[in-house]
Amino acid sequence: MRIAVVGTGYVGLVTGTCLANVGVTVTCVDIDKEKIQKLNEGIIPIYEPGLEELVRKNTSQNRLSFTTSLKDSLKGADAVFIAVGTPPNEDGSADLQYVLAVAEEIGKSINDYIVIVTKSTVPIGTSKKVSEVVQKSLNSRDVKVDFDVASNPEFLREGNAVQDFLQPERVIVGTDSERAKKVLKRLYRPFIESNHPVLFMDIFSAEMTKYAANAMLATRISFMNEIANLCEEVGANVDNVRKGIGSDSRIGSKFLFPGAGYGGSCFPKDVKALVRTADEFGISLEVLKAVEDVNYKQKQVLFYKIKEHFNGNLEGIKIALWGLAFKANTDDMREASSLVLIDLLTKAGAEVVVYDPVAMDECRKRIGNKVDYAKGQYEALEGADALVVITEWDEFRVPKFTYIEKRLKNKLIFDGRNLYEPAIMNEFGYTYYSIGRKE
């Protein structure tokens, strides 16, 4: 089988590389020449555990290649995956200009039957639009070429992308054509044969499944964050409550961790986009609107705890911040809670020194010298009034407390990810604030 993948961002690069790894011949396409050159040298533009090795392995075995020519990549391809960005418009809807531009290019280039698969997270109805644009493009060439569209949303998590792609809990394929179904069944045969469910359905349902999944997960998080905030007030411990409810198999134990709010490129964008789509159909998604509101407030929770501790005055207070990325194992800072916290702290007159194992460059690009950058996690603490932890990196989970004590002015920690045990922290003489647990 031979496929083309358009867009070498997160989803495109992982999809192309992992499909190459199960034996498909894959050409990844991007308009960014420098990026393609680097990828051909085995240098990948994102931080994702295991991906670089897989890119190198598959390029050296000639199953994976990179090009800037969409036209070349389509020669002899059974399917083309559209995996370009769909950034949010100001009103929360997804901007489809890149997806539709690729569709137009495909229409300009194909001469044989091909399945056109949307892999980017796109609003319900986009595959239909893609089909129309391709057909229009073919009409303008005055040629007749058969093609089908399909929707194959991606469910991988950043930081765990390779594993998620290669060992999926399910693959969703939406298509209304038997011919396309045959092609995609062949493509996903290695997964079907290794007992990973590949669910075929109609296109609208596949598109909807992607949004419904992310919206459900975001809902769990906002729900738990509200429960955590209430736990603090009534004197309960959210860890106990989480375990207590998670052992009911109807609820399940995953994705119930309260924290400093969800971030990343997916949940915030997808929840907004789904609310927006519903609005277009005259339906108001009340639960999801509340999920967004709760998350907006939750990103500020640590700031208000810090402010209250310092009696409302943060002028001249020095805060050491561990973590910048929106979660561990990524350098992605899109919609990261750290950005909200830094903004509030600096506006209130505090000085912020940051450390993150991989997101320092990303932070420099985003906010420059609004904060100071420490060389290491302990260097960040030098002379600081408090430590705030906002990303659950492994190196923050079991720190050397003696090092912390030597450098911090006060034994004071604000923990936005509940990494430490309140009882132990208190025993060690720390003033310790976390989320949803008795201090």
Residue 257 in marked binding region: yes
Q: Is 266 a catalytic residue?
A: yes
Of 54 and 266, which has the nearer Cβ to ligand UGA?
A: 266
| Per-position x/- string for 156-195, each x denoting binding to ligand UGA as judged by CB under 6 A, each - no binding | xxx-------------------------------------
| Per-position x/- string for 124-163, each x denoting binding to ligand UGA as judged by CB under 6 A, each - no binding | ------------------------------xxxxx-----
Question: Minimum CB separation from ligand UGA for residue 309, in Å?
Answer: 23
The reply to whether 214 sits near ligand UGA by the rule CB under 6 A is yes
Binding segment (CB under 6 A) for ligand UGA, from list 19-27, 134-142, 257-265, 311-319 = 257-265
Question: Minimum CB separation from ligand UGA for residue 83, in Å?
Answer: 11
CA–CA distance, 376 with 404 (Å, rounded to integer): 12
Question: Minimum CB separation from ligand UGA for residue 257, in Å?
Answer: 3
The reply to whether 221 sits near ligand UGA by the rule CB under 6 A is yes
Residue position matching structure tokens 């489809």: 96
Question: Minimum CB separation from ligand UGA for residue 75, in Å?
Answer: 30
Per-residue CA distances from 353 to 161, 373, 380, 403 (Å): 30, 6, 6, 17
The reply to whether 259 sits near ligand UGA by the rule CB under 6 A is yes
Q: Rule CB under 6 A: choose which of 147, 326, 378, 414 binds ligand UGA.
A: 326
Binding segment (CB under 6 A) for ligand UGA, from list 26-34, 96-104, 258-266, 338-346 = 258-266
Catalytic residue list: 266
Point out which residues bind ligand UGA (CB under 6 A).
121, 154-158, 214, 217, 221, 255-257, 259, 262-264, 266-267, 326-327
Q: Which residue ranges are tagged as binding site for substrate?
A: 155-158, 210, 255-259, 263, 327
